[in-house]
Amino acid sequence: MKPLALAALTAGLLLANAPQALSQSAAPVAAAPVASIDYSDGKTWLCRPGRDDVCSQSQQDATIVSADGKLAAEPFRADAKAPVDCFYVYPTVSKDPGGNATMTIAPEERSVINQQFARFAAKCRPYAPLYRQVTLTALRSAMMGKPMAADRAMAYNDVLGAWNHYLKNDNHGRGVVLIGHSQGSGVLIQLIKQEIDGKPVQARVISAILGGARLQVPVGKDVGGDFQFMPLCRSASQTGCAINFAAFRVDSPPPANSRFGTSSAAGLEAACVNPAGLAGGSGALKAYLAAGTDDIVSDGTGKPLAWTTPPSPIATPFVAVPGLLTAECVNSGGFNYLAITTHPDAAGRRVGTITGDVMVGTQVLKDWGLHLIDMNLTMGNMLDLVGSQSAAYLQKAK
C-alpha cells in the first residue's frame, strides 16, 4: 500500500520545521483583535448531542479484516443516553484562504470529525465547536518565508468561549472527556493550564486525550511541567489524568529535525502514554483505519485502498485489522514517542502494512511520523479507556 499523501500541503512543507508548524507553533504575524463568537448559536458547533449535525451524519460502520482475509461487519451504534460528555477540538485542517478559518463548515471539518471524533458518540455525548483556527494556508505561507496575518490567540479564545458556554449551559455537573489532536491538542493544553489544572472544574474532567502535540513532564515523572496537578494516565480506572502521544513507525523513529516527541527545556521530556498499555510495555492496537478515499487518510490516488490480496470490496468507511498492529512508548535519542509495529501474516490474505506517512510528491516526511493517523491507530483503545474511566468516575461520584 502506498504511503499517505497530504493533498492540502505543498512542497513548502519540506522545511524542517513543518511538524511544529502544523501542530503547535509556526509563528504567523499577529492579526488585529476581532469580535468573539456567540456559542449560543447552534451554527457555531460542528457537533452537539440530540440533533442532526456533522457527528450524527457521520458513517462509522466498519469491516473487520482478519489475517486470513475474511471479512465481517461491525455496525456502529451511538449511545444517545451516554452518561458523560466529550469535548473535541480538531487539528489544523482548514483550507480557507485567510490566516484564520471562517466559521463556515467545510468538507475538511466534516472529514476530520468523521475520522477522529464521531465514533466517540458510542461512549459520550459529543460536543465539537467550530473555531477560527490558524489555517493550513497561513502555515504554508509562513514556512515559505511569506508570513500572513494569523492570530493564534483568536483560535484559543474561540475554544475558551465554547468551553465556558458548554460549562454554563450544557454540562450540569457531568463528567467530561477532553479530546484533541495537533493544533486542537495544543489549544486544549493551553486551556487546561489556564482554566482547569488545579481548579475546581478539574474534578469534572474524566481524562484529556491529547494526540499529536507536545505535553511536557519532568523526566521520569507523571506530573509537573505543563500541568501541575493533572498527571498522566497509568490505569484504566484512573480519572482526572492526561493521555499524550505522537506515533512513528518502529523502523522509522523521529529524525533529529522532528519536533514531535521532544521537549523544549532541560529536565523535561515529551510525555508518552500508550493507549494500548497505560502502565507501560507493548499493547495491541484496536485501530479504525479509513477503508477508502478520505482525503485525510487515503493513499492520495483517489482509488479505494486494498486490504486483501486479491482485493475484496469493502462497503464500509472504516476497517479494523485485529492482530496487525502493536504500540509501545520508546524513549531513545532524546525523543519519547509511540512506536508502531506491524505484524503481517505471510500465510494470510490481509495486507501486511498500512498507509499513514505524510508525503509531498513521492517524498516521505519522516519527521512527521504517523501524525495524520495518530487517532485512527488508537481509536478502539481510546474508546475502551473512555468507557472504563467513565465507569470509574461515575462510581466515585455516587
* Position 333, amino acid: G
> Rounded CA gap, 292 and 91, in Å?
21
Residues 6+ apart with CB under 8 A from 176: 84, 85, 86, 87, 124, 204, 205, 206
Q: What Å distances lie between residue 262 and 90, 100, 317, CA to CA?
A: 22, 27, 34
Task: Report the side by side order of strands in the sheet with 241-245.
Answer: 45-47, 125-129, 85-89, 176-181, 205-211, 241-245
DSSP letter string over 206-256?
Answer: EEEEEETS--EEETT-SSBTTBSS-PBP-STT--SEEEEE-EEETTSPPPT
Q: What Å distances lie between residue 104 and 21, 36, 127, 295, CA to CA?
A: 23, 15, 17, 19
C-alpha grid cell for residue 124? 459520550
> Rounded CA gap, 190 and 185, in Å?
9
> Rounded CA gap, 166 and 162, in Å?
6
Residue 264, SS3 per DSSP: coil
Alpha-helix runs per DSSP H in the chain: 18-23, 54-57, 107-116, 136-143, 152-166, 183-191, 374-397
Question: Which stretch of DSSP H or E encloses residue 126?
Answer: strand 125-129
> Rounded CA gap, 219 and 10, in Å?
36
- Domain ranges, ordered by start, for the chain: 11-397
- Whole-model pTM? 0.92
Count other Cβ atoms within 10 Å, centred on residue 279: 11
Q: What is the mean pLDDT of the chain?
A: 90
Residue 41, SS3 per DSSP: coil
C-alpha grid cell for residue 204? 469534572
Q: Which residue has 494556508 as its cell numbers? A: 137
Nearest to 374 by CA among 301, 251, 272: 272
* pLDDT computed for residue 24 by the predictor: 42
C-alpha grid cell for residue 251? 523502523
Nearest to 117 by CA among 177, 168, 163, 38: 177
pLDDT digits (tens), the chain, 398 positions: 443 333 333 323 332 233 344 444 344 445 456 789 999 999 999 999 999 999 999 999 999 999 999 999 999 999 999 999 999 999 999 999 999 999 999 999 999 999 999 999 999 999 999 999 999 999 888 878 888 999 999 999 999 999 999 999 999 999 999 999 999 999 999 999 999 999 999 999 999 999 999 999 999 999 999 999 999 999 999 999 999 999 999 999 999 999 899 998 899 999 999 999 999 999 999 999 999 755 444 444 445 678 999 999 999 999 999 999 999 999 999 999 999 999 999 999 999 999 888 888 788 999 999 999 999 999 999 999 999 999 999 999 88
Cis peptide bond prior to 310, omega within 30° of 0: yes
Residue 325, SS3 per DSSP: strand
> Rounded CA gap, 10 and 141, in Å?
10
Residue range 88-102, pLDDT digits in tens: 999 999 999 999 999
Nearest to 327 by CA among 291, 286, 270, 368: 286
Task: Report the side by side order of strands in the sheet with 318-320.
Answer: 71-74, 62-65, 318-320, 289-290
